[in-house]
Amino acid sequence: MKIEKNRFYEDLSLILMRTKQAFFAVGGLFLLLLFFFWKVQVLDFKKYWSLSEANRTRESVISAPRGLITDRNDVILADNAGSFKASLIRENCQDFGRSVENISRLMQIEKTDLEARIAKYASFPLFKPIIVKDNLDLREVSRVESQKLEFPELVVETDARRFYPFSTLAAHVIGYMQELTPEEMNSDSYKGRNLGDLVGRTGVEKEYESLLIGADGSLTEVVDSVGRSRGEVARVDPSPGHNIQLTLDFDLQRKATQLLEGREGAIVVLDPRAGEVLALASFPTYDPNKFIARFTPQEWMDLINRPDDPLENRAIRGLYAPGSVFKTTIALGALSSGQITEGTTFFCGGTTRFYGRPFSCWFAGGHGVQNLPQAIQHSCNIYFYNAGRRLGVERIAEYAKALGLGALTGIDLPGEKEGLVPTEEWSRRVRKTEWYPGETISLSIGQGPLLVTPLQVACHTAILGNRGRKVVPHLLRFPSEALEQAEQISDSPARTISAGTFEKVIKGMWKSVNEGGTGHFAMVEEFDVCGKTGSTQLISRERAAKLGKEIKTHSWFTGFAPRDNPRVVVTVLVEYGGMGGATAAPLARELFNLYKDKYD
Amino acid sequence: MIDRRHIENIDWFLIILLVLISLVGVLVVYSSSHYLPGKYYLKQMLFIGVSLVLLFLFLAVDYTVLTTYSFYFYGLIAVVLAGMLLFNQLTAKESWIKLRYFQVQPSELAKIALILVLAQMFSEYKRNYVSLGAVMASGGLVATFFILVALQPDLGTAVSFLPLLLGALILAGLKRKALAFILVLSVLLGVAGWNFILKDYQKNRLTTVVFPGKDPRGSGYQILQSKIAIGSGGFSGKGFKKGTQSQLRFLPARHTDFILSVVGEEFGFLGVAGVLTLYFLFIARLFHSCAKSRDRTGVYIIFTVSMMFSFQILVNVAMVIGLFPIVGIPLPLLSYGGSSLLTSFLAVSLVVNVKMRRFVNI
């Protein structure tokens, strides 16, 4: 049966029309939204795709372990130890200010230090981790790890950290490492290095940086939103740096450091045959482990501002007048140029006059009549005043240079100093005054403007011991074939001095040590040590007397042993050590003794 | 109460669409949570089953009976909401009532109560345009729930009450003046709310819609990650369980509020268009059902349900793509969650209820 609409059903046409209108509005909005999805998913696909890729992958550096540094007998002097470091990734900070505050509290770093450190690297991309603290202890590591979710910006990484097991030992040879500065990072010489990388600043660490570093590897990982790794995508293994063997002998080096303990000075032990440096010590010293820590600016400032300058390698950078050590040079020059013979004698009455000025011997009583070997044996000033006066400043300079003084030795360490051998030309050019003849007299006993380094004196001594053959001192140990080649290269100006001339001077040096001369405290039984002492006056004796107090002199001893075919050279310098024979010679004896026990 | 003719008139198409969308939801919930403990997809299947049973049971009661007693239902929910609020003032904030085996969000059931109560109010309302008194009365009913729920604080659910009121008023007939009044009122409420009610995190969410790049790790993070997920899906998507944004957990609330972003990432524009098409069919079916009602009450019920679904879908979709603040409105049927699912099924049940009883028994 057909039902007529309005009898049983109400008229709903008005509200039904309204439902249609609402439906059209909703339908329109659906279309609009679909269009937005089209835009994001199809038109802007590339942009969002790369954003999602950047989200899910993380590139990190696998640092290559730095090469080890060992002594000649494979004692490890510079090692790598595992350590943890904490880095801040600024990109992950939700609120930068609060992050800094939290990290400063969590890691116990002064907030100002932390801010300064971050500011230093402000110009680097936000995703680059900035190391905020290294060498974390386990408690710190667990503190960071346990709050990983709260602080996604703070990450802990393991790190092969440089470690010097004998801390201060040979610190000046090995050198220390410091973090690359932002400026260096941007320079070409450190391309490919990473933020917070350490580089050698001095010593072998700097000299052989390129050998030691190796090449860092890289790792691309898939990570989730809290930075957990979900597997590797790509990996480039690091290639470790080369190990370096030094010519140093651990025992000699340790002995040399112990002997200098409490003094300021330097000791060089050299093998004169090929120039291998067996020990090279400078005191006061420092602990290079301290430099690895990135957060001790105050300690660093304290160290560089200390008046005794522990960072300075006195063996290659300390400039001293050689004092009486220079007398052998005068002797060789005077003999070689025919100004004197071995038998030429001069009378020492304790004092004499040249050019109207008094010049005295260190032995006020006078040595009496002395020939050359005796003069070297007793280190008689008067004898060498005369010999030097005959030789003249120009020829003194010529022989000094020929015998390795006042010139770079060529050792494989950065920062070696050249020293100075004065000439008349130098005086005019630099001092703007004429060279006074009286200065030649002072120069004859190694005083005046003459400046040498302890290493130069050691090389000079090697030339004496080698009877004129020059060697280049080096720390990197070569294979033995290379050594033999090095011995062939022996062409040096000192060759113009005959072997016989050397013998005459060496005879004096032998007497000095073995026949009660100034060097007798360096005597070693059955080792034929030949040596020469020196005491460098800092002010003239007359002036010291006037001041009425004793001014201590720098104390030198340099020598080689045995007399024929010498195998070891020892040079000792003690600043303000007093007389060379009394202070430096006994230290040298200890080293000769040790060498003899170990190698003979 | 129920006879064979009623069963013959059940809208199976609507129910099948409802279950189909829900099952798509299970699939996406699985993809976005299979690596989490808790087997969310299994729970969601269980919810669907339970809700479906309740949907059919609910059909047994004539909707006119339901509307007749709707004020009692409304009162009960109001008491529960107020009680929770008082209780929560004393203890921790929770918008759930925890029972032994499952948890219910009373604020979700409040939607059903509002649908029924509004339909009852306007069932005999035959004027061409709504009167101020009716606006005040219906507005008061909705506002009471709104305030109770917003204070929980659950702004998302509270906001989803508004389309019910709006739907009822549209049907009752809003004059231009009244529409203007509502707009002015909502602006005033918005200003007052901004200054006195909204919490900082909610304000942040609103500002980031305008400036999403302002603070990519902070409140803009969710919107940005969602857009990255959707955009990186491209036209055809990265594949099931292969979305890096969701699998690696960059995407927040992956299996709940942001589930459409997972669809966008793993199934691409095609997936989104497919899901939106299903929704559109669903919505269209609902709206067209209005004409299949025998009385004014039924039209009100169906229309407010349609408005409720439309509003929630549109707001959620706009939210995941960064066009609307993150207010915590889930995507109906797709998002994981039992209460929301149950409410949706019960709402559809009401629609089916009205439709199957569209012929007058003589």
The model's pLDDT over A44-64, given as tens digits with 9 standing for 90+, comes to 999 998 888 887 777 777 888
- Of A315 and B205, more confident: A315
Q: What is the pLDDT of residue A251?
A: 93
DSSP-derived 3-state class of residue A368: strand
Question: Domain limits at B194?
Answer: 4-356
Q: What is the pLDDT of residue A421?
A: 93
Tokens of B257: 């509020």
| Amino acid (one-letter) located at A192 | G
Indicate the CATH number of A250-292+312-599 among 3.60.20.10, 3.30.70.980, 1.10.260.40, 3.40.710.10: 3.40.710.10
Q: Give Cβ neighbours of residue B305 (< 8 Å, ≥ 6 apart).
A: B115, B286, B347, B348, B350, B351
Inform me whether the C-beta atom of residue B310 falls under 8 Å from chain A C-beta atoms.
yes
Strand bridging mode A217-223 / A57-62: antiparallel
Examine the pLDDT at B309 and tell me if it is beyond 70.
yes
∠ Cα A206 A210 A212 (to 5°): 80
Question: Cβ(A379)–Cβ(A532) under 8 Å?
Answer: yes
Question: Which of A209-213, B70-74, B353-357 shows the lowest mean pLDDT across its residues?
Answer: A209-213
* B293 in a structural domain: yes
Q: Give Cβ neighbours of residue B301 (< 8 Å, ≥ 6 apart).
A: B63, B67, B115, B116, B119, B293, B350, B351, B354
User: Does the beta-carbon distance from A16 to B291 stay under 8 Å?
Assistant: yes
| Angle of helix B12-33 versus helix B40-59 axis, rounded to 10 | 160
Tokens of A220: 């691309």
Percent helix, strand and coil across chain B, each to the nearest 5: 70, 0, 30
- Of A578 and B167, more confident: B167
* Maximal C-alpha separation, chain B: 66
Inform me whether the C-beta atom of residue A544 falls under 8 Å from chain B C-beta atoms.
no
User: Does the beta-carbon distance from B314 to A230 stay under 8 Å?
Assistant: no
Burial of residue B286 (number of CB atoms within 10 Å: 0-12, 13-18, 19+) = buried
Question: Cβ(A89)–Cβ(A140) under 8 Å?
Answer: no
- Of B211 and B123, more confident: B123
Q: What is the pLDDT of residue B101?
A: 46
The model's pLDDT over A577-592, given as tens digits with 9 standing for 90+, comes to 888 888 899 999 999 9
User: Does the beta-carbon distance from A51 to B232 stay under 8 Å?
Assistant: yes
The model's pLDDT over A390-410, given as tens digits with 9 standing for 90+, comes to 999 999 999 999 999 999 998
Q: How many residues does chain B have?
A: 362
Inform me whether the C-beta atom of residue B151 falls under 8 Å from chain A C-beta atoms.
no
* B362 in a structural domain: no
Residue A364 banded pLDDT, cuts 50, 70, 90: confident
What long-range pairs does A294-302 form, CB within 8 A, spacing at least 24?
Answer: A294/A117, A294/A131, A294/A133, A294/A134, A294/A179, A294/A196, A295/A109, A295/A113, A295/A117, A295/A133, A297/A113
- Of B5 and A417, more confident: A417
Inform me whether the C-beta atom of residue B239 falls under 8 Å from chain A C-beta atoms.
no
Integer Cα distance of B215 and B205 in angstroms: 11
Examine the pLDDT at B210 and tell me if it is beyond 60.
no
Residue A544 banded pLDDT, cuts 50, 70, 90: low
Min distance A455 CA to chain B CA atoms (Å)? 60
Q: What is the pLDDT of residue B223?
A: 83
| Amino acid (one-letter) located at B128 | N
Phi and psi at residue A281, in whole multiples of 5°?
Answer: -120, 145
Integer Cα distance of B172 and B304 in angstroms: 12
Residue A4 banded pLDDT, cuts 50, 70, 90: very low
User: Does the beta-carbon distance from A42 to B269 stay under 8 Å?
Assistant: yes
Question: Cβ(A293)–Cβ(A431) under 8 Å?
Answer: no
Examine the pLDDT at B100 and tell me if it is beyond 60.
no
Q: Domain count of chain B? A: 1
Inform me whether the C-beta atom of residue A51 falls under 8 Å from chain B C-beta atoms.
yes
Q: What is the pLDDT of residue A542?
A: 59
User: Does the beta-carbon distance from B231 to A49 stay under 8 Å?
Assistant: yes
Integer Cα distance of B20 and B25 in angstroms: 9
Tokens of A499: 């072997």
**Threshold 0.90, pTM exceeds:** no
- In this complex, the residue of A9, A44, A230 whose CB is nearest that of residue B231 is A44
User: Does the beta-carbon distance from A8 to B360 stay under 8 Å?
Assistant: yes
Q: What is the pLDDT of residue B5?
A: 81
Q: What is the pLDDT of residue A8?
A: 59
User: Does the beta-carbon distance from B229 to A52 stay under 8 Å?
Assistant: yes
Give me the residue label for tokens 């230093």. A120
From chain B, the residues in CB contact with A13 under 8 A are: none
Inform me whether the C-beta atom of residue A12 falls under 8 Å from chain B C-beta atoms.
yes
What long-range pairs does A594-598 form, CB within 8 A, spacing at least 24?
Answer: A594/A251, A594/A252, A594/A255, A595/A252, A595/A269, A595/A278, A595/A561, A595/A567, A595/A568, A595/A570, A596/A524, A596/A527, A596/A561, A598/A249, A598/A251, A598/A252
User: Span A492-514, mean pLDDT?
Assistant: 86
Question: Cβ(A340)–Cβ(A372) under 8 Å?
Answer: yes
Examine the pLDDT at A387 and tell me if it is beyond 90.
yes
Which alpha helices (H) appear in B103-161, and where do they start and end? Answer: 106-122, 132-150, 155-159
| Angle of helix A454-465 versus helix A327-336 axis, rounded to 10 | 40
Examine the pLDDT at B168 and tell me if it is beyond 50.
yes
Task: Name which of A28, A10, A8, A30 is nearest B299 in CA terms.
Answer: A10
∠ Cα A485 A489 A490 (to 5°): 130
Integer Cα distance of A218 and B246 in angstroms: 26
Mutate which of A9, A15, A35, A89 to disrupt the B interface (most B C-beta within 10 Å)?
A15
Question: Cβ(A214)–Cβ(A242) under 8 Å?
Answer: yes
From chain A, the residues in CB contact with B253 under 8 A are: none
Q: What is the pLDDT of residue A3?
A: 42
Q: What is the pLDDT of residue A1?
A: 37
From chain A, the residues in CB contact with B232 under 8 A are: 45, 48-49, 51-53
User: Does the beta-carbon distance from B296 to A47 stay under 8 Å?
Assistant: no
Integer Cα distance of B175 and B178 in angstroms: 5
Examine the pLDDT at A366 and tell me if it is beyond 80.
yes
User: Does the beta-carbon distance from A224 to B272 stay under 8 Å?
Assistant: no
Q: How big is chain A by its Cα radius of gyration, in Å?
A: 37
* B348 in a structural domain: yes
Tokens of B198: 């909204």
Phi and psi at residue A171, in whole multiples of 5°?
Answer: -55, -40
- Average pLDDT over chain A, rounded to an integer: 85
Inter-chain Cβ pairs, chain A and chain B, closer than 8 A: 150
Integer Cα distance of A225 and A80 in angstroms: 33
Tokens of B251: 């995407």
- In this complex, the residue of A8, A18, A224 whose CB is nearest that of residue B249 is A224
| Predicted ipTM of the assembly | 0.90
Q: What is the pLDDT of residue B132?
A: 81
Would you give the DSSP letter of residue A226?
T
Examine the pLDDT at B125 and tell me if it is beyond 80.
yes
Integer angstrom CA distances of residue A536 from A442, A555, A557:
11, 7, 11
- In this complex, the residue of B218, B228, B295 whose CB is nearest that of residue A48 is B228
Min distance A225 CA to chain B CA atoms (Å)? 5
Inform me whether the C-beta atom of residue B323 falls under 8 Å from chain A C-beta atoms.
yes
Q: What is the pLDDT of residue B358?
A: 86
∠ Cα A517 A523 A529 (to 5°): 95
- In this complex, the residue of B234, B250, B296 whose CB is nearest that of residue A45 is B234
Min distance B176 CA to chain A CA atoms (Å)? 14
Neighbouring C-beta atoms of residue A271, cutoff 10 Å: 22
Residue of A nearest to B316 (CA): A33
Residue B195 banded pLDDT, cuts 50, 70, 90: low
User: Does the beta-carbon distance from B230 to A41 stay under 8 Å?
Assistant: yes
DSSP-derived 3-state class of residue A277: strand
From chain A, the residues in CB contact with B296 under 8 A are: 10, 12, 15
The model's pLDDT over A85-142, given as tens digits with 9 standing for 90+, comes to 888 888 777 777 888 888 888 888 888 888 888 888 877 777 778 888 877 888 888 8
Residue B158 banded pLDDT, cuts 50, 70, 90: confident
Min distance B331 CA to chain A CA atoms (Å)? 14
CATH of domain A59-245: 3.90.1310.10
Distance of CA A453 to the CA centre of its chain: 16
Min distance A263 CA to chain B CA atoms (Å)? 59
**Residue A276: beta bridge partners?**
A271, A474
Question: Cβ(A379)–Cβ(A373) under 8 Å?
Answer: no
Residue A41 banded pLDDT, cuts 50, 70, 90: very high
Window 94-133 of B: residues touching A by CB (8 A cutoff) are 126, 128
Residue of A nearest to B320 (CA): A37
- Of B181 and B51, more confident: B51
- In this complex, the residue of B231, B317, B323 whose CB is nearest that of residue A48 is B231
User: Does the beta-carbon distance from B218 to A95 stay under 8 Å?
Assistant: yes
The per-residue DSSP string of A41-83 comes to: IIISHHHHHHHHHHHHEEEEEEPPPPPPEE-TT--EEEEEEEE
Would you give the DSSP letter of residue B210?
H
Give me the residue label for tokens 């702004």. B155
Catalytic residues of A: 324
Residue of A nearest to B260 (CA): A37
Examine the pLDDT at A485 and tell me if it is beyond 60.
no
- Average pLDDT over chain B, rounded to an integer: 85
Residue B118 banded pLDDT, cuts 50, 70, 90: very high
| Angle of helix B106-122 versus helix B296-320 axis, rounded to 10 | 140
* Most confident range, picked from A189-203, A423-437, B238-252: A423-437
User: Does the beta-carbon distance from A225 to B248 stay under 8 Å?
Assistant: yes
- Span between the terminal Cα atoms of chain A, in Å: 134
Examine the pLDDT at A515 and tell me if it is beyond 70.
yes
User: Does the beta-carbon distance from A47 to B231 stay under 8 Å?
Assistant: yes
